[in-house]
Amino acid sequence: MPGFEFFGEKERAEVQDVLDSGVLMRYGFDGVRNNNWKALELEEALTKRMGVNHAQLVSSGTAALTVALASAGIGAGDEVIMPTFTFVASFEAILSVGAVPVLVDVDDTLTLDPVAVANAVNAKTKAVMPVHMCGSMANLRALKTICDKNNLILLEDACQAIGGTYEGKPLGSYGDLGCFSFDYVKTITCGEGGAVITNNETFYKNADHYSDHGHDHIGKDRGAEDHPFLGYNYRISELHAAVGLAQIGRLDEFIAIQKKTYTVLRTALEAIPEVTYRTVPEGGEENYSFLTIFLPTEELTRKAHKALGEAGVDACFYWYDNNWHYYRKWSHLTNLTSLGKVPNEVKEQMPDYSKADFSKSDQWVGRTISCLIKLGWTDEEVKNRAVKMAEAIKSIL
Q: Just list the catalytic residues.
A: 186
Task: Tell me how far apart the alpha carbons of residues 50 and 43 are, in angstroms, rounded to a whole number.
Answer: 10
Which amino acid would we find at residue 189?
T
Q: Which residues pair with 85 in a beta bridge?
A: 326
Residue 327 identity (one-letter amino acid): Y
What is the helix (H) or strand (E) element at residue 117, kind and residue range? helix 114-120
Report the distance separating Cα 151 and Cα 156, nearest Å. Answer: 16
Please tell me whether residue 258 adopts helix, strand or coil conformation: helix
Question: In angstroms, rounded to a whole number, what is the distance separating the alpha carbons of residues 163 and 300?
Answer: 32
Name the β-bridge partners of 155: 177
DSSP string, 194-211: EEEEES-HHHHHHHHHHT
What are the φ/ψ torsions at residue 303 (nearest 5 degrees)? Answer: -65, -40
For strands 316-317 and 368-372, give the pairing. antiparallel
**What is the pairing mode between strands 284-285 and 276-277?**
unpaired
Nearest-angstrom CA–CA distance, 252 and 246: 12
